[in-house]
Each structure stands twice: as structure tokens, then as C-alpha cells.
Amino acid sequence: MTTDRTPAGFLPEDFQSDDTSFRFSHTDNVPRALEQLGVTLCVSTYQAGKLAVFYANDGRLTMLPRTFDKAMGFAINHDQLALGTRFQVWTLKNEPILVPKLGPHGEYDACYVPRTSHVTGYIDIHEMAFGSGELWVVNTAFSCLCTLDSRYSFVPRWRPPFVSEIQRGDRCHLNGVAMQDGSPRYVTAFAETDTAEAWREHKRDGGCVIDVQTNKIVARGFSMPHSPRVDAAGKLWLLDSGNGRLVTVDPASGESTIVCALPGFTRGLAFCGPYAFVGLSKVREKAVFGGIKIEETISDPKSGVWIVDTRTGETVGFIEFEKTIEEVFDVQVLTGIRRPAVVGLQKPTIQKACVVGPELGIHFRPT
């Protein structure tokens, strides 16, 4: 029997067709910045149900919006992308064999294709991050950090010290996770509360940062904080979202320092070199956002991604969404890949995007 051991890839001809209803504007320097940094910018929006990929090519900025139901937190690297949605975690694999089939030569340098879906049920997935061989998920509905196992919806791994049990009911609005040395190190929560939805009474200044390793609260007094991050130098950053701020935190003293204030609800944070990419959202739902400071201080909130020079706190560029996208959840910077393609779930592309493994045949044991 002749065995073909070369994988093959197939894509439909209409792969490049896209949704043109999602419009944006940007400062002239954004494409140049992405090209100079050698990165791709990825943004999720649960309100619009999209994962948006921004890449620069010859001085032009292109946006590829892909449909995923209630797209929330995601983790991405050169090999794979994991995306939390309404009741699933999707894993997309980078399939280089498909790249030559995507259009003009050199248009793309990666292609992420949906491979598996883990059904979690509705656990209100927020941020996610790859650790040392594991995917960590912020499980907001059950107030814990969890990992995934094919035998279960999820496996609880850690909960805040003030949360008494693993039960459905968003007790403290646990939402963000900062990784350090391959493990979760810090998380953000809206309040130190232990009953369902009790955090809503503390939106203005009840937010805190918790050290996962020590189980200690290291900083307090934030308004609906999100997106904790530990940078390459070991400094802790987060978004004081209800105040529209990017801040640094000293875990030893609990002191926070305002780096800058931005024109929107800050949520979604990524770094590349000295630059911070900060997601901004408009304040829409009074039940969730009512009573926070930016309602009083920002008359025209923006939605998009602002680029901040962390050395000065100055805005050096931005991408602003127009009309359709009003809320950003997560922001990630993909290094080493400049123009990735992503296959979404809405168009017929997903039905025809195939990577065929080598034909191995059947090996029978001698009788």
C-alpha cells in the first residue's frame, strides 16, 4: 500500500470576504507602529460578538473581524489561540500549511483555524492565560480560577480568601489574571464580598488586587479594576476601569500610581516594549456601570484601543471604533506574527477549511 505522509490543506475561494459593517478610524502612526514593533493587535468584544485582528501592511491598517458568540478573554501565541465565549472555550491552531492558499503571496504569515471546543456551560468566562502547560480561566460566575479537563465542565484551582465556597453566583466579580513565571500571580475583583452580586454596591471604590500565591490582598480602593499584568521588569500594572486610568501598583506597600487617564472605561491591556495597548469602552448599561466616576468626568467616552508610552504617560496613537463596537473586553499583542488570518464560525469558510493529516494506514498485529 502506498502511504502519503504529507499533510494537505484546503480553503474555500471566498476566505477573504469580510464584514464591512465594522468601521474604525485611527491616527496615522498606528500602522507604522505595528510594523516597527513587528506585532499584530487582537481585540475581543462581547457586545458585538467579534474577535478583531488588526495588522499593518505597507502603511495601511487592516481589520479582520471574526464572529464568536460573546467573545471574551483570550490567550494567543505563535501556535494557538484560546478564546472564551458564552458557554465554550474554543481552541484555534495555527496551520502554516494553509498560508499559501490565503490569497496574494505574502498577504498572511499565519492562519488560526478552530480545532476544538470545550463546553463549560455558562460560567461567565473573563480573562484567560496560557501557563506552564495549562490554560487558566477566570471563572467569574463561580468566583474562582479554573483549568479545563475533558471529564468536567471546569476544575476549580483557586478562589479568593473571602469567598467561602465554589457555588454559582458572581460573588465578587473576579475578572482579571496576571501571570508570572508561568503561573497565576495576581487577580482583580470588584469587591471583597461573599454573596451573589454583592459587589454591585461597591463599584465606586471597592475593587482590590489579590496575590494568588500568598492569598493576601495587596491593594484596595479601585473602581471596577481589570486587566492586571506583570511586565518584563516585574512591575504590576492594572486598569482602574471606573476611573478610566492606567496605574501601577506596589504590592509591598499597596500604593498605586496613576500613569494616565484615558477617555473611556479602561479594560484590556497588553504591552510591547515601552508601549501599553489599552482597551476603551463606552459606558452603556446603568445596571452594571451606573455610579462610577467616569460617568461624571467623561462626557464623550470612546471605544477602541489607545497606545500609551509608559515612560511618559502620553497617548501616542489610537484606534477608535465607530458605532457598531461600543465595548472592548480583551486586548492582546501577538509578537513575531505580522499578518495572521483567523477563520471564524459564521461564514461557510469554517465548513471547508481542512488540514488533512498523513495517511498512515492500519497496522494489524500478527496472529
Position 361 in a domain = no
Of the pLDDT bands very low, low, confident and very high (cuts 50, 70, 90), residue 287 is low
Position 316 in a domain = yes
Position 20 in a domain = no
Predicted pLDDT of residue 22: 79
Position 240 in a domain = yes
Contact 306, 318 (CB under 8 A): yes
CATH number where 67 lies: 2.120.10.30
What amino acid is encoded at 99 in this protein?
A: V
The four Cα atoms 236, 27, 126, 176 give a dihedral, to 10 degrees, of: 10
pLDDT in tens, 231-281: 999 999 999 999 999 999 999 999 999 999 999 999 999 999 999 999 999
Contacts of 132 (CB under 8 A, 6+ apart): 182, 183
Judged against a pLDDT cut of 70, whether residue 14 lies above it is answered with: no
Position 170 in a domain = yes
> How far from the centroid of its chain's Cα atoms is residue 30's Cα?
20
Position 30 in a domain = no
Position 2 in a domain = no
Contacts of 52 (CB under 8 A, 6+ apart): 22, 42, 43, 44, 45, 63, 64, 65, 66, 325
Q: What is the pTM of this model?
A: 0.92
Angle (CA) 46 52 54, round 5°: 150
Domains identified in the chain, total number: 1
Position 29 in a domain = no
**Strand order, beta sheet including 155-158:** 125-130, 135-139, 144-147, 155-158
Q: Percent of the chain having pLDDT more than 90?
A: 79
> Cβ of 174: how many Cβ atoms within 10 Å?
28
Expressed as residue numbers, the domain containing 214 is 8-15+37-356
